[in-house]
Structure 1
Amino acid sequence: MDKIRYDENSPKLINSIVCAIDILGFSQMILDSCQNDLGNKLLNEINHLIEKNKKCIVPNKFSQGKIKIFTDNMVVAYPINQDGEAELNEVLGNVAEYQFNLALEGLFVRGGISIGKFYINDDIVFGPALLDAHFQESQIACYPRIVLDDKTVGQLQKYIQNYNRMPDDHIILIDTDGKWFISYLNTIFKYYKVCNNEYEFDIVQIKLLEKHKEKLEEMLLKHQENIFVWDKYVWTANYHNFFCDLYFPKEKGLKISKHLLLSWPRQISNGDY
């Protein structure tokens, strides 16, 4: 049986899994770079990073997934075949890897995932699933997290009931507000196939988490005077620390220090007036 795909010659809406992704703070990055005459440098850096990392979204020519990129936004879509479990697993794993790779470069993203009618080709993205995914990204995610809407959560719950386990090594977490989101740090467990032994695998994982920590600390210090932006990286740092406590409890040095995650008042001094 041929797999369902987006037909370039006969456009029609197809039941799909759709993910909308946005790079946090990218508009400000554009303004700052252009004011400092560094617009071309930023353009080339972003182009290189996205071109390098988008390959994990649609990894090969046999994948039915499609992507559309415009500046800091990306739409990822997979047409659903049969019950959609294979496509959902592929989307979650691939998007997590993309989010993780960009985070290691200091680019943190937020996004939303929905299931519904959708169509995509080289010129157009169209359908209610895109509107739902964009709503999750722009209005619900808030922090550098990719959240699942109720329809996607319902699909995952069916998966759990059928197989009595979560897909893809617990790649989904539930946040304090009840939203399900992708645990992109689980991507480090994919690196086992490129390591020669268990010891080397452990070293690779720790080095990746150290790099993630370093980038987050840079963002926390950079935005400490902008409470609205700083709070988004505090959320991500708390997620980082949760992940380290869960999988690397003995590696205390991997965690981000609490003093970077707290905002304390101070008394007025002579230099303030």
Structure 2
Amino acid sequence: MTERQPTDCTEHCLAYLDILGFKKFVNEAVEEDATAQKILALRVAVDRAKEQARKMRKAGQGRWDDLQMQILSDAIFIALPSTSSFCKRTMQMLVGYIQLSLAVPNPGEDLTWPMALQLPPCHSAEDLHLFVRGAIVEGPHYAAEDILFSPAWIEGYMNETKHAVFPRVVLCPGKLDAFDSYEDARNRLFWQNMVWRDFDGLPFINYLNILTEYPSEALEWTLREHQHVIIRKIRQYGTDLRVAPKYWWLASYHNAFCRFADIDPDTASNLAIPNVALPGHEQLGAWAAKEQSQ
């Protein structure tokens, strides 16, 4: 037996993401004899997100070859070495693209997209419409083909379970300072807006912020698709008090972004989801409106 060189954990930025409704997604695939299509849809959507984030990263920074990413049943695991603040911003962008690609996976073919987003339409993923919740943490991590030894993985899982609650990806409490350095960012405002603070004080990835890089037509198309998906989910789960609050949160977040985005008020009103009245969650919208006015 060949003796392996000892390897230790190294500091990584790690995201642990949980795909909501994955059991139903898998069961429907089996019932419809469509497992191959569903697997392909997941792979294509995540690969698109990874490619888009890679193309938009700042040239010459970060080591993309060190990216570790895998779908394990209902969990998506992503790790990058914590070599610079840029790696943390890469993680924010990558997680945001995954959230957006799973929720609205098939961009309109007739729209003009920015160069970084010009990829073939993802027809195999057009029925995904999945949302995720999770946590981004920093900590010791080691992964190889045959072993995963990762205190960061455990911390990510624990934070996802304890803090995420809604379809949001939170930054580990107490670690926000590690994600709060933007001096060398190409677009300071864009990166600052990639992280919002929720009504309960927790910072989370504002994945719709990616749309601010889109042409107005593509931004509005994607927001409308996002609106339709959330409305369908609310109608589907409206009487399930265990599930419905997750989609009411999404509706509140969607509406907050519509108010925040640089679009005219009438368009923003048409893109909003009406009658969002979950007690407490309107604070997110109030926060976004306040931030926009400053």
Match of 1:87 in 2: 87
Q: Is the 8 A contact 1:106 1:216 kept in 2?
A: no
The alignment's TM-score, normalised by the length of structure 1, stands at: 0.79
Distance 1:244 1:47, change over 3 A: same
Match of 2:11 in 1: 15
Between structure 1 and structure 2, the one with the greater Rg is 1
Amino acid at match of 2:253: Y
Residue correspondence of structure 1 range 51-200 to structure 2 within 5 A:
51-55=43-47, 56-57=49-50, 59=54, 62-81=64-83, 84-104=84-104, 105-157=128-180, 159=181, 168-191=191-214
Match of 1:267 in 2: none
Q: Is the 8 A contact 1:115 1:151 kept in 2?
A: no
Shift of 1:33: 5.3
Q: Is the 8 A contact 1:144 1:236 kept in 2?
A: yes
Shift of 1:46: 3.1
Shift of 1:151: 4.5
Secondary structure of the residue aligned to 2:246 is helix
CA offsets 1:8-29 (integer angstroms, 9 cap, x no match): 9653201000000111121233
Match of 1:202 among 203, 213, 216: 216
CA offsets 1:125-154 (integer angstroms, 9 cap, x no match): 221111111111122101000001035312
Q: Is the 8 A contact 1:110 1:141 kept in 2?
A: yes
Amino acid at match of 1:147: V
Give the Cα separation in 1 of the matches to 2:212 and 2:192: 9
Shift of 1:62: 4.2
Shift of 1:166: 5.9
Q: Is the 8 A contact 1:15 1:118 kept in 2?
A: yes
Shift of 1:168: 2.0
Amino acid at match of 1:123: D
Shift of 1:261: 5.0
CA offsets 1:194-222 (integer angstroms, 9 cap, x no match): xxxxxxx1111000000000000010000
CA offsets 1:45-90 (integer angstroms, 9 cap, x no match): 4312221122233748943211122112111000122xx2010010
CA RMSD of aligned residues (A): 2.6
Amino acid at match of 2:23: S
Q: Which runs of 5+ in 1 are unaligned?
A: 1-7, 192-200, 264-273
Give the Cα separation in 2 of the matches to 1:95 and 1:25: 18
**Number of residue equivalences:** 239
Match of 1:229 in 2: 243
Q: Which runs of 5+ in 2 are unaligned?
A: 56-62, 105-127, 280-294
Give the Cα separation in 2 of the matches to 1:117 and 1:216: 37
Amino acid at match of 1:57: K
Q: Is the 8 A contact 2:16 2:75 kept in 1?
A: yes
Distance 1:62 1:24, change over 3 A: closer
Give the Cα separation in 1 of the matches to 2:189 and 2:143: 29
Q: Is the 8 A contact 2:69 2:78 kept in 1?
A: yes
Give the Cα separation in 2 of the matches to 1:33 and 1:239: 29
Q: Is the 8 A contact 2:190 2:209 kept in 1?
A: no
Amino acid at match of 2:139: G
Give the Cα separation in 2 of the matches to 1:22 and 1:72: 6
Distance 1:187 1:161, change over 3 A: closer
The alignment's TM-score, normalised by the length of structure 2, stands at: 0.74
Shift of 1:249: 5.0
Give the Cα separation in 2 of the matches to 1:96 and 1:241: 18
Residue identity (%): 24
Amino acid at match of 1:231: P
CA offsets 1:151-198 (integer angstroms, 9 cap, x no match): 5312123x15898x566251000001111000011121333xxxxxxx
Match of 2:228 in 1: 214
Give the Cα separation in 2 of the matches to 1:140 and 1:33: 30
Distance 1:30 1:111, change over 3 A: same
